[in-house]
């Protein structure tokens, strides 16, 4: 997913920076001058990096690493921000009937998408007992993983939460309009600055040089994509990717990508993940039944499925 157009008639400030193993981008319009804009941009970048440092399972000093280290032991005291994200991840597990699970990250011990090797079924089955959202004990300002060897991973909700937080910071700091793009998940504030909508392209999951549709982001909204092309490999014509179905330990099947437009990036990301894991029919039904939400689903066969209202805000290639 990429931004296709940008403001032309107003002063636009833009920064790109590494984040969460990829590249983040922040754009905003500010009429107060260079000094104020520089200060605001620094604050936006700092907020994105704060969230990464706090919630990344790869940072040994993060709260997630502390929780994982204490698995099977004592509860870990957490703040309201952490509790909110853990609760959201557990709610998503319920919504997907266990297909999403915030403890599924333990399966990455055997699924290595960089090396491109399919693990033995025996190795997957040996780890599945550690994949259990029901064993995440959240109470009284603490969280505990009930069994040793379990791992918590907020990758299904953290990036989109960060996009919303950065967008809210920009608005509060005086930006007239903004676009926050954290590794493909987007949150907009207002128009582009020239009274036209931001335009977001949705990539063809099988051809990175082609866009299947473009979404006109009118006002504040979040746009998130879940796809099998982000991290994965092919063996004998079968695509293996990082979006694992926690009930089987294997990559989810049926869809190649899902893009959701919602009032916030957090809601868009939650629903794009859920839709991908539920599959074409149940996923599309979920989006159609959700308030103020539109979406585009691309199946593994390349078929484009959309919610009934998407055509009002999208142009199709």
Q: What is the pLDDT of residues 194-245, one digit of tens each?
A: 778 999 999 999 998 899 999 999 889 999 999 998 888 999 889 999 999 9
Strand partners, 185: 182
Whole-structure pTM value: 0.93
Does 140 reside within a domain? no
Helix boundaries (H) for the chain: 34-55, 63-69, 80-95, 121-127, 158-172, 265-278, 280-288
d(CA 248, CA 252): 9
Check whether 9 has a pLDDT greater than 60: no
Give the model's confidence band at 289: pLDDT under 50 very low, under 70 low, under 90 confident, else very high.
Answer: very high
CB count in 10 Å sphere of residue 31: 12
pLDDT for the residue numbered 7: 43
Check whether 98 has a pLDDT greater than 90: yes
pLDDT for the residue numbered 6: 44
pLDDT for the residue numbered 275: 98
Query: Cα-atom radius of gyration of the chain, to the nearest Å?
Result: 20
Secondary structure class of 217 (helix, strand, coil) = strand
Total tally of structural domains belonging to the chain:
1
Does 106 reside within a domain? no
d(CA 304, CA 213): 10
Does 58 reside within a domain? no
d(CA 175, CA 218): 16
Check whether 5 has a pLDDT greater than 80: no
Does 237 reside within a domain? yes
**The domain that contains 250 carries what CATH number?**
3.10.520.10
Q: Find the domain containing 45 and state its range.
A: 2-50+174-316
Q: What is the mean pLDDT of residues 57-69?
A: 96
119 membership: H or E segment, kind and range: none
Q: What is the mean pLDDT of residues 256-275?
A: 98
Does 194 reside within a domain? yes
Check whether 10 has a pLDDT greater than 80: no
Does 17 reside within a domain? yes
Does 25 reside within a domain? yes
d(CA 96, CA 17): 33
Check whether 4 has a pLDDT greater than 50: no
**What is the chain's mean pLDDT, rounded?**
93
Portion of the chain with pLDDT greater than 90, in percent: 84
Secondary structure class of 305 (helix, strand, coil) = strand
């Amino acid at each position: 997913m990429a931004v296709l157009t940008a403001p032309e008639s107003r002063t636009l400030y833009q920064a790109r920076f590494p984040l969460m193993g990829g590249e983040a981008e922040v754009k905003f319009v500010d009429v107060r001058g260079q000094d104020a804009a520089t200060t605001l941009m620094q604050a936006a970048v700092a907020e994105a990096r704060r969230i990464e440092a706090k919630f990344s399972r790869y940072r040994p000093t993060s709260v997630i690493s502390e929780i994982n280290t204490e698995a099977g032991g004592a509860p870990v005291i957490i703040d309201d921000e952490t509790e909110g994200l853990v609760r959201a991840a557990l709610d998503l597990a319920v919504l997907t009937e266990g297909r999403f699970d915030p403890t599924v990250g333990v399966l990455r011990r055997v699924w290595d998408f960089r090396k491109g090797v399919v693990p033995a079924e025996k190795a997957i089955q040996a780890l599945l007992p550690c994949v259990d959202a029901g064993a995440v004990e959240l109470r009284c300002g603490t969280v505990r993983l009930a069994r040793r060897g379990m791992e918590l991973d907020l990758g299904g909700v953290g990036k989109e939460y960060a996009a919303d937080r950065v967008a809210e910071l920009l608005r509060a700091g005086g930006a007239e309009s903004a676009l926050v793009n954290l590794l493909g998940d987007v949150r907009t504030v207002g128009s582009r600055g020239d009274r036209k909508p931001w335009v977001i392209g949705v990539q063809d999951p099988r051809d990175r040089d082609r866009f299947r549709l473009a979404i006109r982001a009118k006002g504040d909204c979040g746009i998130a994509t879940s796809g099998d092309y982000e991290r994965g490999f092919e063996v004998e014509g079968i695509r293996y990717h990082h979006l694992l179905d926690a009930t089987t330990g294997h990559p989810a099947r049926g869809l190649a990508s899902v893009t959701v437009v919602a009032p916030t990036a957090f809601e868009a990301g939650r629903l794009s993940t859920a839709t991908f894991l539920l599959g074409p029919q149940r996923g599309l039904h979920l989006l159609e039944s959700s308030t103020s939400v539109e979406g585009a689903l691309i199946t593994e066969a390349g078929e484009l499925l959309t919610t009934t209202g998407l055509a009002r805000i999208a142009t199709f290639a």
